[in-house]
Amino acid sequence: MSSAAQPWLQIDETHDPALTSWVAAANDPATDFPVQNLPFGRFRTATNPAPRLGVAIGDQVLDLERAGLVEPGSDLNALMARGPALRRTLRLTLSRGLRAGSPKQADWAAALVPMAAAELLLPCRVGDYTDFYIGIHHATRVGRLFRPDNPLLPNYKWVPIGYHGRASSLIASGQGFRRPNGQSMPPGATEPRFGPCQRLDHELELGILIGSGNALGEPIPVDQAEDHVFGLTLFNDWSARDVQAWEYQPLGPFLSKNFASTLSPWVVTLEALAPFRQPFTRPEGDPAPLPYLDSKQQRASGAIDIGLEVHLQTAEMAGRGQAPARIARSNFASAAYWTIAQLVAHHTVGGCNLQPGDLFGSGTLSGPGEGEGGSMLELTEGGKRALELPGGETRTFLQDGDTVILKARCERAGARAIGFGECRGTVLPAPGMAISAV
């Protein structure tokens, strides 16, 4: 299938970097949400507690129902199910209506809600959640901690590794979560202990939200796969590393992953990401993907240039009024060993049916260099080297009261920069425990 048949790859009038908006904050070069972005989400307010659909523009949310763009009671899953053509039409309508000089300004201004006055919710109902492991630098670095001579298992470069997670414990950005209790086997012990997790970690990931699904037993070809993807979010798959080390063999993560995972509120569509596409390549000497995972289209534009950051604010920093400190940065294009389309094709090749709102986690997206680890496990070499923070505090793993903020931004010469907003979560004490260092 040629790129001409895939409109989400095309640059059109909605991407024009010269476009400005009548929403003043959308013209700030620092905003994540200029008129060239227009991500979708759900929100509610104190005066109108019913969840409804919105689009982020500057520091405002455009209420799509009040603007007359969706039917009363519409949700994002219904929009996802209708496929990419409707999404592209709606994006064009939104772009033209929010541009400076638009005749829609008088009507739509009344449909704006300040983002600061809105409660941002999970963007959609997630029925199923699969977590992949496509960050090759993360997989290599973590593998080296346990298998110094053979960090990557033989299947890694042939098959996208993943496991089915727990959708019920997905939480919205800004929501705190309790440190989990569980079993672990301390070094040198002869029997496991039970109690609060001692090695709590974050994971820097992107979330991939499915749009229109497929029928049971009908695989999605790799070059049609992105037709079934609505967009991307930020995703933090919190991990109890000590619980994980004890439980994961032979079947993989269980309680170490099912207590909380945080999803950011805004879904950046594939159309908004079109200017930031780039060729997808693998290191010389690595095997080519099997034919069902390979195509000219994937090699030409399967990667997306998305800069990623992790910030940490301890309770002590917050008490002093000190801003969060950036502790890591990386990039999706250089971190990911598999493309989004390859994940969809592989997930369905055996006949699995995806549904609107299904979520894929990318796995931890670490870079190859110093300070590019997407987890504390990497940044502290498994807890052997403390991470130093401004103000003199240190961390090997997360403590109660710590807040982790994930950020992402796309920047390229000749294009308007766009961002994803924040994915924020705070560690609360385990049930029955007071806030204290662990």
Report how far residue 419's alpha carbon sits from residue 424's, in angstroms, rounded to the nearest whole number. Answer: 15
pLDDT for position 79: 95
pLDDT band for 373, please (50, 70, 90 cuts): very high
Q: Reply yes or no on whether 15 is catalytic.
A: no
pLDDT band for 34, please (50, 70, 90 cuts): very high
pLDDT of 200-226, one tens digit each?
999 999 999 999 999 999 999 999 999
Please, what's the largest Cα pairwise distance for the chain?
73
Residue 438 in this model has a pLDDT that exceeds 70: no
pLDDT of 172-189, one tens digit each?
999 999 999 999 999 899
Q: What is the pTM of this model?
A: 0.95
Residue 133 in this model has a pLDDT that exceeds 60: yes
Amino acid of residue 13: E
pLDDT for position 5: 52
pLDDT for position 1: 38
Report how far residue 23's alpha carbon sits from residue 213's, in angstroms, rounded to the nearest whole number. Answer: 35
- Residues making up the annotated binding site for Mg(2+) are 237, 257, 261
Indicate the CATH number of 3-120 among 3.30.450.20, 3.40.50.1360, 2.30.30.230, 1.10.260.40.
2.30.30.230
Q: What is the CA radius of gyration of the chain?
A: 22
Amino acid of residue 356: P
- Residues making up the annotated binding site are 131, 133, 147, 203, 205, 237, 244, 248, 257, 261, 364
pLDDT for position 150: 82
* Residue 333, CA distances (Å) to 140, 206, 235, 303, 367 in order: 17, 12, 16, 5, 10
Would you give the distance in Å from CA 330 to the centre of its chain? 13
pLDDT for position 434: 52
Q: How many CA atoms lie within 13 A of 337 on its CB side?
A: 26
User: Which CATH architecture is the domain 129-428 placed in?
Assistant: Alpha-Beta Complex (3.90)
Q: Is the dihedral of CA 171, 94, 227, 365 positive or negative?
A: negative
Residue 3 in this model has a pLDDT that exceeds 60: no
Helices (H), 269-403: 296-301, 315-319, 332-335, 340-348, 376-379
Per-residue tokens: 286:
């690595």
Please tell me whether residue 387 adopts helix, strand or coil conformation: strand
| Mean pLDDT of the region 350-354 | 97
Residue 433 in this model has a pLDDT that exceeds 70: no
Report the DSSP pairing between strands 170-172 and 261-263: parallel
| Mean pLDDT of the region 125-132 | 96
Q: Quick one: the chain helix, strand, coil %, rounded to 5?
A: 25, 25, 50
Residue from 15, 137, 138, 311 carrying the catalytic annotation: 138
Residue 162 in this model has a pLDDT that exceeds 80: yes
Q: Are 430 and 181 in contact (CB under 8 A)?
A: yes
pLDDT of 288-322, one tens digit each?
999 999 999 999 999 999 999 999 999 999 999 99
If you average pLDDT over every residue of the chain, what do you get? 94
pLDDT band for 138, please (50, 70, 90 cuts): very high
| Mean pLDDT of the region 399-416 | 98
User: Hey, where are the domains in the chain?
Assistant: 3-120, 129-428
- Residues making up the annotated binding site for substrate are 133, 147, 244, 248, 364
